[in-house]
Amino acid sequence: MTDHKIKVLVAEDSAIIRMFLVHLLESDPQICVIGAVGDGQAAVDFVNQEKPDVVLMDIHMPHMDGFEATRRIMQTRAVPIVICSAAANARDLVISFQAMEAGAIACIETPYGREQGDFDATAAHLLETVKLMSEVKVVRRSAYSRPPSAPAAHPSQYTSTRIKLIGIGASTGGPPVLQTILASLPRDFPVPLLVVQHIARGFMAGMAEWLNHTTGRQIHIASYGTYPLPGHAYLAPDDFHMGIDADSRIVLTREEPENHLRPSVSFLFRSLAEACGPGALGILLTGMGQDGAAELRLMKDKGAITIAQDQESSAVYGMPGVAVALGGATHVLAADKIADALAALIHQKNDLSRS
């Protein structure tokens, strides 16, 4: 019976890759491919007639690309959309993140055959992502626009010491939340931000470029030994843990993965707890699993302010949910309230430093 299987639509312009993806997906007994189309318009039409549980969406397709197809689907009959791209060049990568801004909830690398060096891991990740994303509740976008800014938080809502560094951890659904936070911070925001975002290998450069274009903030892929600058954001590079040393310089290391991940949010948060104590601030955003949850509690125990994204605004309430359950969050906030909270905390810190 297919009634209890996860129904997937594959949208991919290459007939060979499309057939391969269908074969790979149907190798999992929990998945049933109910459609395979070669362009974005066909994907939109299919979703309007048959509602799949997940759409696996390519970027470059004739008649309508994956970004526009995602935008239209999310405005008319929203379903979980996973961008599946070969990450061939910077332009493709930026379009992938534009699709996430339009409502896609994950971005993964396309497995293309056994000659691919890490094919088994890439294929397993695709199957796992499709199954997990089928359970995500998405909502229709009435218009393609960023969420409105939340009312500014009043500084008296928060307590703070001198905040020197902010650490942010995110996974599934994280890129558009990061974009909202970074774009909403004041231009003269005076604290560096260190970010670990779980994303498929090869996509980080595109994410950095997309955030640079859409947030008005300086975004960097972190380099070893850098002193992070006020208001700049530093993304952990592929396959490197990122932390901070006693001299407040960025440290990159290829130590063993934590929670099967490298970079790991746990590594970053533990580093901030040890190096900065109450001078750090930790934020754990949407994502599957529990990476960073215990270490957010460690930061809190060391005197740091800690923020977890709330369940309603999280695509996947795994990482922040575990942190809240562990008592690791000083504040639990909706995605569009986090930037205002940070501005309030820093404002109060400045007031305290003048007193």
> How do beta strands 241-244 and 233-235 pair?
unpaired
Distance CA 38, CA 40 (A): 7
Beta-bridge mates of residue 85: 109
Concerning whether 291 is annotated as a catalytic residue, the answer is yes
> How do beta strands 54-57 and 81-85 pair?
parallel
Residues 6+ apart with CB under 8 A from 150: 334, 336, 337, 340
* CA-based nearest residue to 329, from 350, 314, 315: 314
Residues 6+ apart with CB under 8 A from 312: 334
Q: Which of 39, 160, 198, 266 is catalytic?
A: 198
Query: Are 9 and 37 contacting, i.e. CB atoms less than 8 angstroms apart?
Result: yes
Concerning whether 92 is annotated as a catalytic residue, the answer is no
Q: Which of 134, 160, 171, 313 is catalytic?
A: 171
Concerning whether 198 is annotated as a catalytic residue, the answer is yes
Tokens of 13: 């312009």
Where does the chain have alpha helices with state H?
Answer: 15-26, 40-49, 66-76, 90-101, 119-133, 174-184, 204-215, 265-276, 293-301, 319-325, 338-354
Q: Is 148 exposed, middle or buried (0-12, 13-18, 19+ CB in 10 A)?
A: exposed
Q: What is the DSSP secondary-structure string of 290-318?
A: -TTHHHHHHHHHTT-EEEEE-TTT-SSBS
Query: Are 268 and 167 contacting, i.e. CB atoms less than 8 angstroms apart?
Result: yes
> How do beta strands 250-253 and 241-244 pair?
antiparallel
Q: Which of 291, 310, 336, 340 is catalytic?
A: 291
Q: What is the DSSP secondary-structure string of 112-180?
A: --TTSTTHHHHHHHHHHHHHHHTT------SSSSPPPPPPPPPGGG-------EEEEEE-TTHHHHHHH
Distance CA 40, CA 168 (A): 34
Active-site positions?
Answer: 171, 198, 291
